Amino acid sequence: MSARLTLPADHPHVAIVTIDRPAQANALDPATLCDLAAAWRRIAGDDEIRCAVLTGAGERVFCSGMDMKTTIPAAQKLAHGERIDAATFEGLRSVATATLAGFDLCTPLICAINGHCRAGGFDLSLAAEIRYAVPHATFALEEVAIGLYPTGHATVLLPRQIAWVHAHELLLTGKAISAERALQMGLLNAVVAAERLMPLALETADTIAANAPLAVRETRRGVRELLSMPLAEAYRRQEELGRPLRRSEDAREAQRAFVEKRRPVWRGK
């Protein structure tokens, strides 16, 4: 598989998704898009998975974006009304799910950016709630340099995640920035040595997975919903989201565990 999902036994409730085409700069060809879409559907549909980590295979590239030899030409053929083979068509149909632009994972996502993060790869990383990168990683949204619109997250989420001027610098110049510059812009949580990247990502994933699963999911959902709401409406909506949790079995279990000085046993109810 060109994108694989693993469930490490020593990290319960955590899934690792790896884009595994290092010889092709982990570019997203139709098969990889299908594999990624399947991985995200599996995670979203499994209540036992409470956090996911996305990374790339190898030490050089996290993801270079859409494959310029297969995916981009096929998309251009479709745009001109030309026919493409069934497997390639299925890959293109999977783009919105694979890139999480048209699919809600319903689960916190951490990106362990192990190398260069370009175009569609950068775009995909914007779907993550938490991001770590190695020092040699670079970041670029290169679509304007090849005559394309950066569909996906870039024009939707980027200006909501970092300052207006920084977002436009990335979107309109197509130039690459360093991991340190990305950290300064607020795109990353931390820049760490390569040997610390996955341990840190998994440590954070374990911390998230150890919390009450309903509370984590609803908090993630609330941030996304409330972001674009007027203040009065946002305060009203957060109360609607919070009220059922106060009546949940997990909330009562947390109180009992505190009194009994033990770790809570979450049931997700």
Give pLDDT tens digits for 54-83.
999 999 999 999 988 888 777 788 778 888
Question: In this structure, what CATH number is given to the domain that contains residue 94?
Answer: 3.90.226.10
What percentage of the chain reaches a pLDDT higher than 70? 100
Helix axes 86-93, 30-44, angle to 10 degrees: 50
What is the total count of domains within the chain? Answer: 2
**Which structural domain range is residue 238 located in?**
213-260
- Higher pLDDT: 148 or 181? It is 181
235-256 pLDDT, tens per residue? 999 999 999 988 888 888 788 8
* Same-domain pairing of 142 and 24: yes
150: pLDDT confidence band, cut at 50, 70 and 90?
confident
Q: How far is CA 96 from CA 6, 23, 85, 100, in A?
A: 22, 24, 19, 6
Task: Examine residue 177 and state whether it is found in any structural domain, yes or no.
Answer: yes
Say what the pLDDT of residue 246 is: 87
pTM: 0.93
Those residues with Cβ within 8 angstroms of residue 213's Cβ, 6 or more apart along the chain or in another chain: 13, 47, 50, 250, 266, 268
Q: Where are the beta strands (DSSP E) in the chain?
A: 3-6, 14-19, 51-56, 61-63, 109-113, 116-118, 130-133, 138-140, 177-178, 190-191
Distance separating alpha carbons of residues 223 and 237, to the nearest angstrom: 11
Q: Which of residues 209, 227, 250 is at a domain's end?
A: 209
Any domain includes 266: no
Structure tokens at 104: 């809600």
170 lies in some domain: yes
pLDDT of residue 251: 83
54 with 146, same domain?
Answer: yes
Are residues 219 and 167 located together in one domain of the fold?
no
109 and 93 inside one domain: yes
The whole-angstrom separation of Cα 78 and Cα 60 is 32
